[in-house]
Amino acid sequence: MPVEMRQVADCIWEIPQTGKMRVPGRIFADAKLMQVLKDDEAPQQVANVAHLPGIVGYSLAMPDIHWGYGFPIGGVAAFDPEEGVVSPGGVGYDINCGVRLMRTSLTLEQVQPRMRELVKTLFRMIPTGVGSEGGIPKLSRAELQAVATEGAGWAIGRGYGRPDDADYIEEHGRLAGADPEAASDTAYARGAPQVGTLGSGNHFLEIDVVEEICAPELAERFGLRPGGIVVLVHSGSRGFGYQVCDDSLKKLQKVPQRMGLELPDRQLVCAPIHSHEAQAYLKAMACAANFAWANRQVLMALAERALCTALSISAERLGARLIYDVCHNIAKFEEHEVGGVMRRLLVHRKGATRALPAAHPLVPAAYRDVGQPVLIPGDMGRASYLLVGLPGSLTQTFGSTCHGAGRVSSRAKMLRATQGRNLQQELEDRGVVALSKTRNSMAEEMPEAYKDVNDVVGVMEKAGVSRRVARLRPLGVIKG
């Protein structure tokens, strides 16, 4: 039976607290996006999450919400450290899946005539696809443990990027509390050849043009100009993070029964934050988060080298600089005001992005007067966005906003719908040169599989959570 939802503001729909729900649920969406949700199980998942012990405020969902494992993708939930739980389903299998944005000195006029060559060079120099390996030489166990503890700093120390890149990465590219002994041998075996690899699914590396400046005074601070060329990297912790999640789900399976906790969905397996099982998960999750930051750091460096190779220019002439790197799937302890009191909470974000406003101490010093950059990838045919966080994020969403367009069609449905179609030509007709490891990986991710990202970011802007700075149009894409 569909859950009851009532509109309480222009862009907010509330699921009343009923039964054993400990808090109400809230979904950020307009009428158009709510129509998309009418046949989706994700609102029920929002209600299910509200049953978990120690949840604070609301079980939240962003406008890119769709069905996921346990928690909906697009879900946000904060838990009290003493009474609350940690749930791997609230982070997901691809721990610290995230996005980074790199600006360049290039212009549309310089790259458009050579886009096919640029995409081919990126595809050749950056490993893509399921099980892909070879971004950098296979790492030893000791090196992998260093990756798991040092994060992006490991890659920077080995010549991938610049010394100040860490200043422009969430958590400076290193999540504290990582214990390399908390990750399994299988996780290390899977991760050993995968640092510097893009992977498959919705992961991509994209060349974009700055198509529209929405907030000139902010765009200037980020070094963006109309017609400028940027690179968007979307990837995560690869097989290492997947294995950490899988291992943890198995270890936590019997904890709810031991707690005497009745769950509305067995995928919401969880453990009290102070328990041995939860602490072990958080230590292993931090390792996977650090793996992902190291991975994206290497990918950006490989992309920079590929662009220089394809265009026969120097790194100085390319002028590549990291604007920011954000994570989408993570659980972190943060300070938030609840009922007029500052509280330390464990915030789960699954398919949601941190979006802190100006003056917040966790915003990088270079951007503290304008707010934290928020990177929202769209789909291969429409647009992506750079946003900044607004004060409303702290009062409404535990400092969170959307993370992308959000699926409307399953991968299986897309494979059926695209049979017999020339997908590459369809994208070229939109002005996008795309290469993928397999036809299926492109079919699964065609633009029609997603909501319109313009609608999604518009909801969060109207709600006062985040603000559009620049719209980016894809020119070239590589996928697994």
Q: Which of 9, 46, 76 is nearest to 464 (CA)?
A: 9
Whether pLDDT at 132 is above 80: no
Tokens for 167, please give them.
Answer: 């200043």
- Angle, vertex CA 310, rays to CA 307 and CA 311, nearest 5: 85
How many other CB atoms sit within 10 Å of the CB of residue 19? 8
Whether pLDDT at 1 is above 70: no
The mean pLDDT value for 445-462 works out to 96
Q: Is 429 exposed, middle or buried (0-12, 13-18, 19+ CB in 10 A)?
A: exposed
Question: Which band of pLDDT confidence, cut at 50, 70 and 90, is reported for residue 130?
Answer: confident
Alpha carbon 299 to chain centroid distance? 16
Q: Is 359 exposed, middle or buried (0-12, 13-18, 19+ CB in 10 A)?
A: exposed
Whether pLDDT at 457 is above 90: yes
How far, CA to CA in Å, does 436 sit from each of 111, 120, 130, 202, 205? Answer: 20, 10, 11, 11, 11
Tokens for 267, please give them.
Answer: 């995928």
Strands 466-479 and 433-436: parallel
pLDDT for residue 210 = 98
Model confidence over 149-162: pLDDT tens digits? 999 999 999 999 99
pLDDT for residue 133 = 75
pLDDT for residue 314 = 98
Helices (H), 312-387: 315-318
The region of weakest confidence among 45-54, 289-298, 373-382 is: 373-382
Tokens for 378, please give them.
Answer: 């769209």
Q: What distance in Å separates the CA atoms of residue 266 and residue 269, rounded to the nearest whole number?
A: 6
The mean pLDDT value for 132-159 works out to 93
Whether pLDDT at 309 is above 80: yes
Question: Which band of pLDDT confidence, cut at 50, 70 and 90, is reported for residue 163?
Answer: very high
Element (H, E) at 343: strand 341-350
Question: Which band of pLDDT confidence, cut at 50, 70 and 90, is reported for residue 39?
Answer: confident
Model confidence over 77-95: pLDDT tens digits? 999 999 999 999 999 999 9
pLDDT for residue 129 = 73
**pTM exceeds 0.85:** yes
Tokens for 290, please give them.
Answer: 């650090």
How many other CB atoms sit within 10 Å of the CB of residue 31? 10
Tokens for 248, please give them.
Answer: 């943890």
Question: Which band of pLDDT confidence, cut at 50, 70 and 90, is reported for residue 449?
Answer: very high
Q: What distance in Å separates the CA atoms of residue 135 and residue 196, rounded to the nearest whole number?
A: 4
Tokens for 5, please give them.
Answer: 């939802």
Model confidence over 216-266: pLDDT tens digits? 999 999 999 999 999 999 999 999 999 999 999 999 999 999 999 999 999
The mean pLDDT value for 35-51 works out to 94
CATH superfamily of 6-479: tRNA-splicing ligase RtcB (3.90.1860.10)
Share above pLDDT 70 across residues of the chain, in percent, rounded to a whole number: 100
DSSP 94: S
> What is the SS3 assignment for 198-245?
CCCCCCEEEEEEEEEECCHHHHHHCCCCCCEEEEEEEECCHHHHHHHH
Q: What distance in Å separates the CA atoms of residue 135 and residue 197, rounded to the nearest whole number?
A: 5
How far, CA to CA in Å, does 290 sit from each of 171, 179, 230, 320? Answer: 10, 11, 24, 23
Whether pLDDT at 310 is above 80: yes
Tokens for 297, please give them.
Answer: 């750091």
Contact call for residues 459 and 36 (beta carbons, < 8 A): no
Question: Which band of pLDDT confidence, cut at 50, 70 and 90, is reported for residue 136?
Answer: confident
**Backbone dihedral angles phi then psi of residue 84, each to the nearest 5 degrees:** -95, 180
Model confidence over 380-397: pLDDT tens digits? 889 999 999 999 999 999
Residue-averaged pLDDT of the chain: 96
Whether pLDDT at 279 is above 90: yes
Sign of CA dihedral 219, 224, 227, 229: negative
pLDDT for residue 216 = 97
Which residues participate in catalysis according to the annotation? Answer: 403
Contact call for residues 255 and 425 (beta carbons, < 8 A): no
Contact call for residues 86 and 270 (beta carbons, < 8 A): yes
Q: How long, in residues, is the chain?
A: 480
pLDDT for residue 204 = 94
**Backbone dihedral angles phi then psi of residue 62, each to the nearest 5 degrees:** -85, 170
